[in-house]
């Protein structure tokens, strides 16, 4: 149970790996339903936006990055397994850029925190004045017990009643943050090479500023994740994820009640535990969702005409299920994605999360234009 956080004071918000695949034809008729299926009964945090003006911008180092030569490619899905917001496929032309070979690790994030004194969203108490802006007028203030520094931690239930109620496997845990992924009694000792998690979009942006880099656009992320394979379903090609050897850190078995650990991991894994894609990028499928710079709109692809050059996404955010909540795109899937339940590790899969939210399965990687 999520206890007080599931009360009427905090409405459903976060997107997690929770969508059944449907044929394209069905999605086009029931677009709103397909967009709703991935975000049922998960509470919002509504933390205060973070001030990063005191963080000195750094100079990007290309160590640990991969150079991606500019090119034109077809972005979006052509198969019948995508959600409605993955269509139509459209042409994109990108300039050259550098992208991190791995997700940002605990070791790298620790250097940032030590250099700047930065405090992440999960380490701060939610702000009622910010909450009110995104709740129906007249919503009463929650009890003070709600306003604690906390983050969402995955909990494996013994059984579930429906796959549309994410509150059955997510818990708000006081004291959970990037240094304590499962709560105050946990730590990251010996996990320096694991991806940093419990980072909000604001946190990722702050790190990027310090490092002299930026978050990838959705187009940059997808092109790099494809690894040079045209119209492949996954970064490694079209072979099913559970055929042959393990290809990514995902969930095998029956989500969320049983994980067979066939790929060798129950939860997060260190980076570089699976083979890289054709460009040399690791873990662009599975392990953790990765923040992009783009605002989320379900109809964005439909607005594009001709060839889009270095697209940066829509000018604002709109989610028909939660129109007052600003959301950014996340890509790549996580260790919680399961073939029979969610194929977030498909190279075209798009998801959405509020900018002030961090979870145990969300991280990021950076890019640089020079």
* Each residue's pLDDT tens digit, 62-95: 999 999 999 999 999 999 889 999 999 999 999 9
Rounded Cα distance, 286 and 343, in Å? 9
Q: How many Cα atoms occupy the beta-carbon half-sphere of 363 within 13 Å?
A: 33
Phi, psi of 98 (to 5 degrees): -105, 145
- Say which residues have a Cβ less than 8 Å from residue 161's Cβ, sequence separation at least 6: 168
Matching residue, tokens 């290309």: 62
Cis (ω within 30 of 0) for the bond into 256? yes
**334-360 per-position pLDDT tens digit:** 999 987 777 899 999 999 999 988 899
**221-274 per-position pLDDT tens digit:** 999 999 999 999 999 999 999 899 999 999 998 898 999 989 899 999 999 999
Which of the four pLDDT bands, split at 50, 70 and 90, describes residue 17? Answer: very low
pLDDT at 51: 59
pLDDT at 131: 73
**Token pair of 279, please?**
């460009």
**∠ CA 169-173-177 to the nearest 5 degrees?**
110
| Higher-pLDDT residue of 42, 211 | 211
Q: Fill in the DSSP letter of residue 280.
A: S
**Token pair of 96, please?**
């050259």
Nearest C-alpha neighbor of 360 from the set 176, 210, 111, 157 = 176
Question: Which residues face 364 on adjacent strands?
Answer: none
204, 80 contact by CB (below 8 A): no
Which of the four pLDDT bands, split at 50, 70 and 90, describes residue 37? Answer: very low
The structure's pTM equals 0.86
pLDDT at 53: 62
**270-295 per-position pLDDT tens digit:** 999 999 999 999 999 999 999 999 99
Rounded Cα distance, 231 and 304, in Å? 19
Phi, psi of 179 (to 5 degrees): -85, -20
pLDDT at 166: 81
Q: Where are the alpha helices (DSSP H) in 87-216?
A: 106-116, 128-132, 201-211
Highest mean pLDDT, choosing among 35-39, 141-145, 157-161, 200-204: 200-204
pLDDT at 56: 85
Which of the four pLDDT bands, split at 50, 70 and 90, describes residue 134? Answer: low
Whether pLDDT at 31 is above 50: no
């Amino acid at each position: 149970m999520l206890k007080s956080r599931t009360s009427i004071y905090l409405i459903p918000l976060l997107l997690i790996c929770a969508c059944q695949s449907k044929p394209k034809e069905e999605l086009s008729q029931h677009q709103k339903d397909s967009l709703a299926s991935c975000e049922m009964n998960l509470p919002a945090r509504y933390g205060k936006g973070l001030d990063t003006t005191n963080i000195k911008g750094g100079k990007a180092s290309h160590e640990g990055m991969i150079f991606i030569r500019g090119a034109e490619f077809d972005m979006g899905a052509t198969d019948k397994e995508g959600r409605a917001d993955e269509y139509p496929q459209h042409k994109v032309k990108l300039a050259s850029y550098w992208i991190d070979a791995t997700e940002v690790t605990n070791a790298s994030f620790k250097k940032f925190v030590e250099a700047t004194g930065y405090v992440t969203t999960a380490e701060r108490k939610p702000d009622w004045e910010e909450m009110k802006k995104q709740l129906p007028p007249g919503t009463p203030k929650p009890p003070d017990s709600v306003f604690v520094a906390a983050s969402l931690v995955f909990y494996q239930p013994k059984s579930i009643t429906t796959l549309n109620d994410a509150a059955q496997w997510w818990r708000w845990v006081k004291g959970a943050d990037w240094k304590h992924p499962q709560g105050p009694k946990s730590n990251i000792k010996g996990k320096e090479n694991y991806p940093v998690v419990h980072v909000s979009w604001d946190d990722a942006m702050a790190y990027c500023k310090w490092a002299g880099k930026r978050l990838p656009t959705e187009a940059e992320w997808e092109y790099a994740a494809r690894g040079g394979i045209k119209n492949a379903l996954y970064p490694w090609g079209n072979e099913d994820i559970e055929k042959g050897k393990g290809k990514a850190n995902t969930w095998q078995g029956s989500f969320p009640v049983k994980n067979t650990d066939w790929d060798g991991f129950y939860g997060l894994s260190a980076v570089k535990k699976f083979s890289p894609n054709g460009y040399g990028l690791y873990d662009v499928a599975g392990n953790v969702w990765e923040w992009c710079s783009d605002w989320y709109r379900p109809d964005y692809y439909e607005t594009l005409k001709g060839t889009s050059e270095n697209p940066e996404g829509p000018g604002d955010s709109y989610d028909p299920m939660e129109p007052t909540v600003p959301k950014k795109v996340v890509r790549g899937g996580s260790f919680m994605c399961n073939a029979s339940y969610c194929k977030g590790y498909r190279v075209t899969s798009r998801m959405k999360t509020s900018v002030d939210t961090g979870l145990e399965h969300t991280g990021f990687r950076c890019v640089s234009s020079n």
